[in-house]
Amino acid sequence: MNILVTGGAGFIGSHTVVALHEAGFNPVIIDDFSNSNPMVLERLEKITGKRITCYDQNCCDTTALQAIFDTEKIDGVIHFAAFKAVGESMAYPLKYYRNNLDSILALLETMIPAGVQHLIFSSSCTVYGNPDQLPVTEDTPIKPAMSVYGNTKRIGEEIFRDLVSTGNPLKVIALRYFNPIGAHPTGLIGELPTGTPNNLVPFVTQTAAGIRPELTVYGNDYDTPDGSCIRDYIHVMDLAEAHVAAIKRLFDLPLPTHFDEINVGTGQGNSVLEIIKAFEKVTGKPLPYTIGKRRMGDIPSIYADVTKSTQKLDWKAKRTLEESLADAWRWQQGL
């Protein structure tokens, strides 16, 4: 089956392309490389042994999407393409609303007339805001988003839910993921931020490599055991394999329409200071860091209840935090 992977040259997208190939699917990429690098395509060829078809196009372009659907006979879609920096979304909200929501609408306006029913949506645990109870389940109340980025994910889910509830022939699973880290074990693909990293682990690896002078821990006065923020860190290949399990589930569903949301995490939280200590232990590299002020939009703690992903997808995260950090460091060393 031909699976269109929007944003397929990005961090999570590229690893999902590998997982799809390994599962017997034929991934087709659309990516405008606004937040990714074309060299990823060569790396994917080395890993998979085949040249992955890629269209250098923007997902908001319905004409381009129509041509891809006509040419490639698409059977399903995994939609990653979106701007994703929380801080930037607060500085440029219209940019984020335009790109992240227009791409969803353009996809749906192309998919539905083409008779393509199956879609996995890249959602986020940011839809829970600052939760009252942990771990968060899929029934945890959705709170006002802490960022424009998070709000685009919440609105995206609502668009899919509304379309399904009004009888459109769509089967959609929104995967709400937590904090993807790590890299492919070959070290050929990984997280490649442009400019200053927005995520913790690339900042950790760049500091260890001497690219950054030191790491800033944003706040050590949160209501957590060591005062630093707690997150659910999942290896990117585990996350990629969850997408494969989800698309398989959609193809197996006999229902004419379907919408569901599923958490994808490890079910365990680790603090920022624990990540630093674990990285130092795995690599033997000391990490210089300072304690800074709290960062706007950060919540103290969040981690997943993974009961639903285990039951519905027959999937569990299997790679350890130490494996994730070792793979991230291998990737950084190869850059």
Alpha helices in the chain (DSSP H): 11-22, 39-48, 62-72, 86-91, 93-114, 148-165, 200-208, 236-252, 272-283, 307-313, 321-333
The phi, psi pair for 104, rounded to 5°, reads -65, -45
How high is the pLDDT of residue 295?
Answer: 84
As for how many domains the chain has, the answer is 1
In a domain, 275, yes or no: no
Are 213 and 297 in contact by the 8 Å Cβ rule? The answer is no
In a domain, 91, yes or no: yes
How high is the pLDDT of residue 193?
Answer: 86
**d(C-alpha 181, C-alpha 198), whole Å:** 12
Are 120 and 246 in contact by the 8 Å Cβ rule? The answer is yes
**d(C-alpha 106, C-alpha 195), whole Å:** 29
In a domain, 294, yes or no: no
In a domain, 111, yes or no: yes
Q: Which residue range is the domain that position 108 belongs to?
A: 2-184+234-266+306-318
**Which candidate in 55, 96, 128, 149 is catalytic?**
149
Summarize pLDDT for 23-51 with one digit per residue, the tens. Answer: 999 999 999 999 999 999 999 999 999 99
Low-confidence ranges of the chain (pLDDT < 70): none
Annotated catalytic residue 55: no
In a domain, 135, yes or no: yes
How high is the pLDDT of residue 195?
Answer: 81
**d(C-alpha 46, C-alpha 153), whole Å:** 33
In a domain, 285, yes or no: no
In a domain, 329, yes or no: no
In a domain, 272, yes or no: no
Report which of 111, 147, 118, 137 is spatially closest to residue 1, judged by C-alpha positions: 118
For position 10, which CATH number holds?
3.40.50.720
How high is the pLDDT of residue 83?
Answer: 95
